[in-house]
Amino acid sequence: MSDNVQAKIERLAIPIVEDLSMELVDVEFQKEGKNWFLRVYIDRDQGVDLDDCSKVSEKLSEALDNNDPIEQAYYLEVSSPGAERPLKKGKDLEAAVGKHVHVTTYAPIDGEKTFEGKLTNFDGTTLTIEIKVKTRTVTMSIPYDKVAKARLAIVF
């Protein structure tokens, strides 16, 4: 999705979501087969339910109809980001300190591009992750500008 379309959708969605005491987590606009899907992910501390998603969908649908920021026909889906929620912004990483995360980098760090472990610190420029390697724990420092993707991870 172009940054311009994403920015327009976010500008419409943020006031709606915040007015309902929720947070806009992510916006995706993707073509799947012949159809386009606009997916809006919302959350709050106690989680969201179907009723929350319906409220946001109804209000956002009305705002999209009035502003018409997307040319082609699409399906609107509003949902929770799920247990393995993406960590896209610095504030998302700050909130994830103490939790288990999965991080991939643009280039290898110490020969690896994938890291999974407990996020112990994020200072705005560096992620510090404790990773279990067999029987020992290794602390990795990953520069934030080298992070391709980050998400919460479920520990089994």
Query: Any idea which of 33-42, 82-91, 138-147 has the lowest mean pLDDT?
Result: 82-91
Kindly give the pairing relationship between strand 136-143 and strand 126-133: antiparallel
Compute CA distances 67 → 15, 64, 121, whole Å: 14, 5, 41
Q: Where are the domains of the chain?
A: 3-79, 90-152
> For 93-120, how does the pLDDT look when each residue is reduced to its tens digit (9 = 90+)?
998 999 999 999 999 998 999 999 999 9
Compute CA distances 147 → 9, 27, 44, 140, 152, whole Å: 25, 19, 25, 13, 14
Q: How far apart are CA 43 and CA 53, in angstroms?
A: 9
pTM, rounded to two decimals: 0.75
Architecture of domain 3-79: 2-Layer Sandwich (3.30)
> For 129-156, how does the pLDDT look when each residue is reduced to its tens digit (9 = 90+)?
999 888 899 999 999 999 999 999 988 7
Which CATH class, in words, describes the domain spanning 90-152?
Answer: mainly beta
